[in-house]
Amino acid sequence: MTRIALISQSARLDYFVPLLQAAAPELDVVVWPDPAFEDADVAMCWNAPPGVYAQMPRLRLVHSIAAGVDNVVAGQALRGLPVCRVVDPKLADGMVQYVLWSVLHFHRKFDVALANQRQRVWQRPMQTPAGECRVGLMGLGKLGGAIARSLLGLGYAVNGWSRSAPDIEGLTVFSGPAAFDDFLARTDVLVCVLPLTDATRGILGQRTFDALPRGAAVVNCGRGEHLVAPDLLAALDSGQLRGAVLDVFASEPLPQNDPLWQAPGVIVTPHMATMASSAVVAQQVADNVRRLDAGQPLLNVVDMHRGY
């Protein structure tokens, strides 16, 4: 019987047990750190403890419960194991909504109105059409592509940055590191939906902020490690940046004493930009386990050379 181990050092994953049993009654499901995890064929993970796969000699597949795989591969010897992730159109819908809310916050100057409210100031901020608000999307994959199409549909001026140049009607794409500064120079609201890799870690730092037009805003819904928080605070303090919406943090939950909680112009949300339904995640993992056992190609396999 194929055994699947639910593994996380930071979250309880036992709610997946009945969902997996419903999706694939033939599976034997165990929850780490039950010692039976060592004999599992499949690891289904979020934030896996470093080195855990080395204790699993029968392991044949690592499956993230999420779109990102950074925290299931960090600190692991993968020995060529396939790594799969979740891809779900409804996950993209949630991200589109979150980013739209963030873009509206800055474009329609809700940040100004809310700050004025705290001072009992009645002042109608000047408004501009969507076409004059330039949204710069870092990452044009499953999530970034959906965001681009939605914002373009609402009339925003959208530019994108990625490694390749996906063909999205109306989107101007800047490709690779050489085009990064040109991309930034045309951005009023910078949105990060990149995966976390060696190439993207710390990309939201001083160099990037300095290359944006003065008064630009930043939205991070990729991973916390994309952001260099002291650089953000300095850029806000100097007025180089107008504000930031942050959904992800290097340490989650965000520690009580973190200055980001109270930083003027910063909105903190608890990694809620989007979330696949647990039933969909369980079904996708169950489908991939069946494919694995049948020797069929797996779905949503991550290219571990790229890291995403």
Residue that the structure tokens 């994953």 belong to? 13
Tell me whether residue 142 or residue 242 sits nearer to ligand NDP (CB atom): 142
One-letter amino acid at 43 equals A
Give yes or no for residue 84 binding ligand OXD (CB under 6 A): no
- Whether 223 is a known active-site residue: answer yes
CA distances to 1, 97, 230 from 257, in Å: 48, 29, 14
Contact partner, 99, from ligand NDP, ligand OXD, none, Cβ < 5-8 Å per class: none
Burial label, 116 (beta-carbon count in 10 A; 0-12, 13-18, 19+): middle
- Which of 281, 272, 248, 290 has the alpha carbon at shortest distance from 67? 281
User: Alpha-carbon distance 74 to 5, whole Å?
Assistant: 18
282 near ligand OXD, judged by CB under 6 A: no
Minimum gap (Å) between residue 223 Cβ and ligand NDP: 5
Q: Of these partners, ligand OXD, ligand NDP, none, which one is at the site of residue 199 (CB under 5 to 8 Å by kind)?
A: ligand NDP
The active-site residue out of 3, 105, 223, 226 is: 223
- 46 versus 174: smaller Cβ distance to ligand OXD: 46
Neighbours of 26 (CB within 10 A): 11
Is 271 catalytic? The answer is: yes
Q: Which of residues 55-74 bind ligand NDP (CB under 6 A)?
A: 67-68
- The 3-class SS string of 204-222 reads ECHHHHHHCCCCEEEEECC
Task: Tell me the window of 74-82, 107-115, 159-167, 277-285 that interacts with ligand NDP (CB under 6 A).
Answer: 159-167
Between CA 62 and CA 42 the distance in angstroms is 6
Report in angstroms how near the CB of residue 10 gets to ligand NDP at its nearest: 15
Structure-block tokens of residue 291: 């494919």
Instruction: Please identify which of the residues 108, 201, 207, 271 carries the catalytic annotation.
Output: 271
**Residues annotated catalytic, as ranges:** 223, 271
Which parts of this chain interact with ligand OXD (CB under 6 A)?
A: 66-68, 275
Chain residues binding ligand NDP by CB under 6 A are: 67-68, 139-144, 161-164, 193-197, 199-200, 221-223, 247-248, 271, 273-274, 308
